[in-house]
Structure 1
Amino acid sequence: MAEKPQPVHVLYCGVCGLPGEYCEFGPDFEKCKTWLIQNAPDLYPQLLKEEEGNEVDKVSGQLQSTSVSDGSLTSKPEEVKCLPGGKIKKKEKQEIIIEKVTRNKRKCITTVKGLEHFGVKLSDASKKLGKKFATGASVVKGPTEKEQIDVQGDIAYDIVEFITETWPDVPESAIFFIEEGKKVPAV
């Protein structure tokens, strides 16, 4: 006669609510790590090793970020952003990208992305562009959920000179065109 199967005991994570084995696929594994180390160290033994290594790294990182000047200790804040899954977000390059988009075979729209990196207020910039080129210009959200300026008409090559004259903080070497899917410097 066959034995009656025993019920399986599943440990659910106190942070995300998933079974402990599936926390790494959950919404925020970084928050789950501390709970897993305390309550289920046998599920992820590599977390214990990482935790011990991270403590050593944190101490050495703190020692490196402090500097002695005039006999006082000062610490520098780090500008690293950690994304879910442990990935580190790289700092965006400060560059302006100008792209010409054709619609209805004859009409063109010139998009300007990245002016905000140089301290330019996009609403003011769109007004100035609209007045200078006598066209419609507006601030819209692009496909990556970042704001950009859409200017009606093909003004791609005239706009570089206008940007460098109007906002002297913007170097001409930081302006790029998108031509045939390739990024080309405006210089």
Structure 2
Amino acid sequence: MAEKPEPVKVLYCPICSLPAEYCEFGPDFEKCKPWLIINAPELYPDLLKEANEKEAERVSEQLQFAGISSSGADGAASSVQSGETSSSKQEEVKRLPGGKIKKKARQEVVIEKVVRNKRKSITIIKGMELFGIKLSDASKKLGKKFATGASVVKGPTEKEQIDVQGDIAYDIVEFITETWPDVPETAIYFIEDGRKVPAA
């Protein structure tokens, strides 16, 4: 008579309710990680290694914060290890997919004139918020100064910009630098024929 097969015991994750080996495909893998490290380390050895590295990094940061300089071979090894992790962390921040280095967003105001229906033109002002200027207040001041309609709208890149009706590009630079001294003239650019041209 053939032996009756033993039922397979499946370890289920209490966070995502999937079997532990399928957690990485679930919706809350980040939340599952601590539970997996404790209850199923053999399934995810990389998580255990990552957790150990993070713990070592955290301890070394605490030591640096406390001003304790580690000495001896162990100290040198730990400082080298923490140095490696911090430099790799910096690289992660700076590098984009494909190896391109991410540049910091430059503080600049870009002014562009768009002509519609061959007669009507709109002056678009982008980047005022980078100087700590509230766009709604700026649009009111621009509308009042140039006696025209001005509103804050979302641009094609989902960033907010100010649309001012009419061609006010001739007088706008002077008005911006006088009204908001935080905006230097060197940070103001015009878009002409698809190219960025400095206003100064």
Matched, 1:130 2:143: yes
Q: Which has the higher helix share?
A: 2
Distance in structure 2 (CA, Å) of the matches to 1:143 and 1:175: 20
After the TM superposition, which residues 159-170 of structure 1 pair with which residues of structure 2 at under 5 Å, given as runs? 159-170=172-183
Partner residue, 1:185: 198
For residues 149 and 35 of structure 1, do their structure 2 counterparts lie closer, same or farther at Cα, with a shift above 3 Å needed?
farther
The equivalent of 1:44 in structure 2 is 44
Query: What residue ranges of structure 1 are gaps of 5+ in the alignment?
Result: 1-5, 68-86
Superposition deviation, residue 29 in structure 1: 4.3
Specify the code of the residue in structure 1 equivalent to 2:166: G
Equivalent residues in 2 for 1:11-30 (5 A)?
13-16=13-16, 20=20, 23-24=23-24, 29-30=29-30
The Cα offsets for residues 36-59 of structure 1, whole Å up to 9 and x where unpaired, read as 323332333212111111122223
* Structure 2: unaligned runs, 5 residues or longer: 1-5, 68-91, 95-101
Find out whether 1:107 has 2:120 as its counterpart: yes
Change (3 A) 1:32 1:148: farther
Deviations 1:32-90 (A, max 9, x none): 332332333233321211111112222333455678xxxxxxxxxxxxxxxxxxx8598
- Give the count of matched residue pairs: 165
Question: What per-residue deviation string (whole Å, max 9, x for no partner) do you get for residues 132-162 of structure 1?
Answer: 2222101123344432211112333532221
Greater per-residue strand proportion: 1
Residue by residue, what CA displacement relative to the aligned partner does 1:85-127 show, whole Å, maximum 9, x if unpaired?
A: xx85987443323233333343322222222222222221111
* Equivalence for 1:71: none
The residue that corresponds to 2:59 in the other structure is 59
Task: Give the aligned CA root-mean-square deviation in angstroms.
Answer: 3.7
Partner of 1:76: none
C-alpha distance in 2, partners of 1:96/1:66? 43
More displaced 10-residue stretch of structure 1: 96-105 or 131-140: 96-105
34-43 vs 46-55, greater mean Cα deviation: 34-43
Instruction: Give the one of 173, 176, 181 matched to 2:189.
Output: 176
- Secondary structure (helix, strand or coil) at the match of 2:122 reads strand
TM-score, structure 1 normalization = 0.65
Secondary structure of 1:125's aligned partner: helix
**3-state SS of 1:94 partner:** coil
Percent identity, please: 76
TM-score, normalization: structure 2?
Answer: 0.61
Which protein is bigger by CA-based radius of gyration?
2
Amino acid at match of 1:37: I
